[in-house]
Chain A
Amino acid sequence: MTHNKASRCGVPLTCCDSSPLQSSKNWRAAVDLTGRLLTAHGQGYGKAGQPTSHTTDSLQLWFVRLSLLTKLNLFQNAELECEPFGNLDQPDLYYEYYPTVYPGRRGSMVPFSMRLLHAELPQYLGKPQEALDRLYNLKTICLAILENLEKGLAEDGSMITLAQENRQASLTLWRSRLSRVMYSMANCLLLMKDYVLAVETYHSIIQYEPQQRVQLLSGIGRIFLQIGDVKTAERYFQDVEKAYQMKGSNFSHATCVLMNRAFVYLSQNNYADAHATFLEVLKIDPKNPVANNNAAVCLLYLGRLKESLGQLEGLVQQDPALYLHESVLFNLTTMYELESSRSTQKKQALLDAVACREGDSFNTQCLKLV
């Protein structure tokens, strides 16, 4: 079905074409499909260096291809394919370059998400400073545009007046883009282990995304736990409790508060209370996968290997869609190896379970079969 569509050149793409492949997580197949579709557009394999004719559709295809490569952790491939685009500001990436195709339209054809991906990529290739530079550049642009909008100008600073709802929509859009860029920056700083700056950046997101305050404060608390500064982590978790008490009983906040408490118990070597607290989370939210996984982990530290294994295996069997996840499988295989030197059989069984459910993108390293 999709092959036929690919063979027709210049077909305007809708997301229906590739989404069946994507939603079943067959990303490798999806990447191949984008390759074929791009070739149909006159770009793609072997076409680097030839005169280009980008369209918004072809750029979207490129974006999908690059983001899938990133999801597959094929960062070097993604970087190589990004290179011909330079810094995404070449003239042939602007509407004005194609006056016959897009008469009267101005601005960049590059999707913002693609700019973000392009900025984030270097950090996965051991060049986090370059990623930070690109992200800061993006942040500056977002801030400039927001300033223009707030002053009553158009996004690019020109004196075009916008209708009220257009202005509001634009403000909302660019605010969300700004906080997305800031998330990327904070994540990059965390990857670089620059904890002081990472914490500051996460903190500054709160003013743009106040509804994520609880999650951000909890996240910062966890960073301090990773450093070993349990006291400061507790202070942040107390802030979360205060925010939770002020807002009233929000279901997800209650679990957040309990999770944080459990992590503090863990940091104090109190595995028994940590386990009990994770069970309390399950009383509120029985299907919470994090609480289920973490409770099983605590059991191991309490010397109850069999129980822990039983719990995790049960979860995988009951709800494979949720629990055939890299982190859970890492834990399972680690415990199989601890249990017996004949763990290969059990790991093989896991591989079989994964094969019939997951797509071609599953990272089988977590099964530690080699």
Chain B
Amino acid sequence: MRLTKPTLFTNLPVTCEGRDLPGDLFAQLMREDPSTIKGAETLMLGEMLTLPQNFGNIFLGETFSSYISVHNDSNQVVKDILVKADLQTSSQRLNLSASNTAVAELKPECCIDDVIHHEVKEIGTHILVCAVSYTSQFGEKLYFRKFFKFQVLKPLDVKTKFYNAESDLSSVTDEVFLEAQIQNITTSPMFMEKVSLEPSMMYNVTELNSVTSRDQGESTFGKMSYLQPMDTRQYLYCLKPKTEYAEKAGVIKGVTVIGKLDIVWKTNLGERGRLQTSQLQRMAPGYGDIRLSLEVIPDTVNLEEPFDIVCKITNCSERTMDLVMEMCNMRSIHWCGISGRQLGKLTPGASLLLPLTVFSSEQGLQVRSRPSEATFYSCFIGYLMFSVICFRAFLD
């Protein structure tokens, strides 16, 4: 018999007042009922424990507990009983029983009991195989097996999204925000005890799912500490590359391993489940060989008044670059300076700060982008103002 946690018995209170026809009868019946709460008989949720009535559902990450009982139904003594419990999945066969020694004898009406626990790590069909071998009174060696099949279902649907923050104008390193959407696809409410991100070697993680106020940490989910069936929650984490890794390549590129999510949940009376995702991967945004970022730019500027900006050009390739800057005016944005200037050589991983002067001839928010051409690199910059700087790079 599967040993899920017991459930609490609930009552259906039917009451009346003293002046009504039944008088004190209903109240008396409720007081005498052993399953009501004494002193608060109208409280529905009692304290009587009821054993599980059916197998129920079992989900990946939960613990399968079962009572295994071998009962001597006959009126003869049976000897040398060996009970073995195995769990057969699609990929493996596990031995679950604690003892491997045979019981010497089993008298009539007696039983051999065992409680087995197994943390379920696979989805799909599982078969509990109980094999009993014994010797009858007459010396005959007998053997029988019983099979109990059950399905393990998926409890959670996890979706992840990465957000890149290029907001930090002062540092080289980029922050990555991970949004994990977790949906409860079981049929009962789940209490999310712990959802944490274990970062890979390259990152430090800050979790953004609790608010500390007056020394007490409070979850961002407030009073809803549990997930109803089909509800989804979003967890947010901020990952910063560790300094040693950030400086190494100038910028992290390609496919990087971010870390994995560790989820622990509880259901009825503390029934526990635990899942870890596989390593989450992120495709770093393609900067190509050269990365251009805006370091300093004013929030608002006056029309037709020149203002200063500072750009940072980082060499993200493996080769030294010889940079030439050409300024291309747009309809609303005009450069002040010398075009066609040599910027000098830039080694791999190094960066160069470039002060420039610009002015705008049109009011409003300026947003520009221009598709890149074969030998030109164009970049998309910053929040409030965009301009396109075209330059040719001569490579060694």
Contacts and interface: CB of A to CB of B under 8 A. Distances in A.
Given A71-B14, A301-B3, A334-B51, A290 B34 contact: yes
Contact of A222 (B12, B38, B47, B111): B47
Contacts of B6: 266, 297
Given A196-B224, A229-B266, A335-B51, A212 B191 contact: no
A53 B299 CA distance: 82
Which has the most chain A C-beta neighbours within 10 Å: B19, B51, B111? B51
Contact of A13 (B21, B50, B268, B269): B21
Interface in B28-66: 29, 33-35, 37-40, 42-53
Interface stretch (A39-47, A84-92, A137-145, A337-345): A337-345
B34 A323 contact: yes
Interface stretch (A95-103, A111-119, A149-157, A240-248): A111-119
Contacts of B13: 183, 187
Interface string A158-187: 000000000000000000000010011011
Contacts of B39: 211-212, 214-215, 252
A113 B193 CA distance: 42
B51 A300 contact: yes
A306 B111 contact: yes
A328 B49 CA distance: 9
Chain A binding surface, main DSSP class: helix
Contact of B49 (A113, A196, A297): A297
Interface stretch (B67-75, B78-86, B366-374): B67-75
B207 interface: no
Contacts of B38: 215, 252
A63 B20 CA distance: 9
B8 interface: yes
A297 B43 contact: no
B17 A228 contact: no
Contact of A230 (B3, B25, B44, B270): B270
A219 B37 contact: yes
Nearest to B65: A301
B51 A331 contact: yes
Nearest to A233: B270
Interface in A1-59: 13, 15, 18-19, 22-23, 25
B270 A183 contact: no
A310 B265 CA distance: 36
B1 interface: yes
Given A195-B189, A325-B35, A117 B14 contact: yes
A228 B8 contact: no
B76 to A, nearest CB: 15
B47 A290 contact: yes
Given A113-B17, A306-B111, A228 B270 contact: yes
B47 A294 contact: yes
A183 B43 contact: yes
A77 interface: no
A86 to B, nearest CB: 21
Contacts of B5: 266-267
B331 interface: no
Contact of A302 (B1, B21, B111, B115): B115
A337 B54 CA distance: 12
B27 to A, nearest CB: 11
A325 B33 contact: yes
Contact of B226 (A212, A228, A268, A334): A228
B26 A226 contact: no
A338 B40 contact: no
A354 interface: no
Q: Which 4 A-B pairs give the minimum distances between C-beta atoms?
A: A267-B270, A228-B266, A228-B191, A289-B34
Interface of B: 1, 3, 5-6, 8-9, 12-17, 19-23, 25-26, 29, 33-35, 37-40, 42-53, 67, 69, 71, 73, 110-111, 113-115, 189-191, 193, 223-226, 228, 265-272
11 contacts: A15-B23, A70-B12, A73-B12, A111-B16, A183-B42, A187-B44, A193-B189, A215-B38, A219-B37, A230-B266, A252-B39
